[in-house]
Amino acid sequence: DGGITQSPKYLFRKEGQNVTLSCEQNLNHDAMYWYRQDPGQGLRLIYYSQIVNDFQKGDIAEGYSVSREKKESFPLTVTSAQKNPTAFYLCASSIFGSQEQETQYFGPGTRLLVL
């Protein structure tokens, strides 16, 4: 059963703490993405990766870090430098990341809350 999984579904962060959100895909897609969704706003791109061991910053990368050591995995770390981390985080993937006709496939999301 192919798809994208994100864990955990809910995550709580204490002040000054780094937390890591997991994203795994078994679709054999090359490209993976992280978005942040806030109420009343569209999705905003945090980071994306088109190939293993390579990634680029999106519009709102400050306070976040990523790694892409394996094709199927693209974890996102929310660092203590991110002062307003409360949001819904969505991971996505696409086949090549540069094709006019391809769409992105999304995971179920992780809701991050600050204690």
Residue ranges binding other proteins (CB under 8 A): 4, 6, 31, 33, 35, 40-45, 48, 50, 58, 88, 90, 92, 97-98, 100-109, 111
Q: Which is nearer to other proteins, 15 or 100 (CB)?
A: 100
Least separation in angstroms between residue 3's CB and other proteins is 10
Strands 87-94 vs 64-66: parallel, antiparallel or unpaired: unpaired
Closest residue by Cα to residue 29 from 77, 89, 76, 99: 99
Least separation in angstroms between residue 54's CB and other proteins is 13
Token representation of residue 64: 């976040």
Q: Which is nearer to other proteins, 80 or 106 (CB)?
A: 106
Cα 55 from Cα 31, distance rounded (Å)? 9
Q: Which is nearer to other proteins, 10 or 14 (CB)?
A: 10
Q: Does 108 sit behind a cis peptide bond, omega within 30 degrees of 0 on the bond before it?
A: no
